[in-house]
Chain A
Amino acid sequence: GQNIDQPTEMTATEGAIVQINCTYQTSGFNGLFWYQQHAGEAPTFLSYNVLDGLEEKGRFSSFLSRSKGYSYLLLKELQMKDSASYLCAPMDSNYQLIWGAGTKLIIKP
């Protein structure tokens, strides 16, 4: 079967760094996406990894290890507006995104 495993909730302090881990099992693999979703809003695209390694984009970085079925999203210099849910979504062999429940990130001053 297909499965996504992320922590349900994490708390971090403004200005700090946080790493959100994701492990996955899919039928085939065509890359992995990270999306941000604020409460009551649709998801917005953050990153896409298809090869192993780290992709850096400003304050956000995403890492992928295909052999381990593992990815993480790293957020630096946390801001209050980063409080949101972060969704790890691998793409299966049919190019369909597999969604988990996401990680709710709470930023405290």
Chain B
Amino acid sequence: GAVVSQHPSWVICKSGTSVKIECRSLDFQATTMFWYRQFPKQSLMLMATSNEGSKATYEQGVEKDKFLINHASLTLSTLTVTSAHPEDSSFYICSAPPEREVGEQFFGPGTRLTVL
């Protein structure tokens, strides 16, 4: 099956710093990638839809100036958490549906962010 990678796997940072998370589709092109956040024992929460070559679409309640998304190529999307605070500590997961296939999303392994 298709492979999606994420980097880094985990990161610990100080409050007020910015953290960049990369999501790559390794063996397919993805014009769309999804960014999720998951708090312990809760469901996946869609944060935004990343679109190659255009602006991301953010879900209601997600601050676009805080969570910057850049989808510069057909295989790479980045999420930057700006001025991170402890409440941003969470599990961030990206996913991508292969082109011309309905539905199935391939998930990256996730990034565990801890803000001190």
Q: In the complex, what residues of B have CB within 8 A of residue A100's CB?
A: 43
- Total A-B residue pairs with C-beta atoms closer than 8 Å? 47
Chain A residue at minimal CB-CB distance from B32: A95
Q: Are A42 and B107 in touch, CB under 8 angstroms?
A: yes
Q: Given contacts A31-B102, A48-B103, is CB(A101)–CB(B43) below 8 Å?
A: yes
Q: Are A41 and B43 in touch, CB under 8 angstroms?
A: no
Cβ proximity bits B92-116 to A, threshold 8 Å, 1 near / 0 not: 0101010000111111111010000
Q: CA–CA, A87 to B103, complex, Å?
A: 15
Q: Are A45 and B93 in touch, CB under 8 angstroms?
A: no
Q: Does A106 contact B (CB under 8 A)?
A: no
- Main SS class of interface, B: loop
Contact count band on B = 20 to 34
Number of interface residues of A (CB under 8 A): 20
Chain B interface residues (CB < 8 Å from chain A)? 1, 41-46, 91, 93, 95, 97, 102-110, 112
Chain A interface residues (CB < 8 Å from chain B)? 30-31, 33, 40-45, 48, 50, 87, 91, 95-97, 99-102
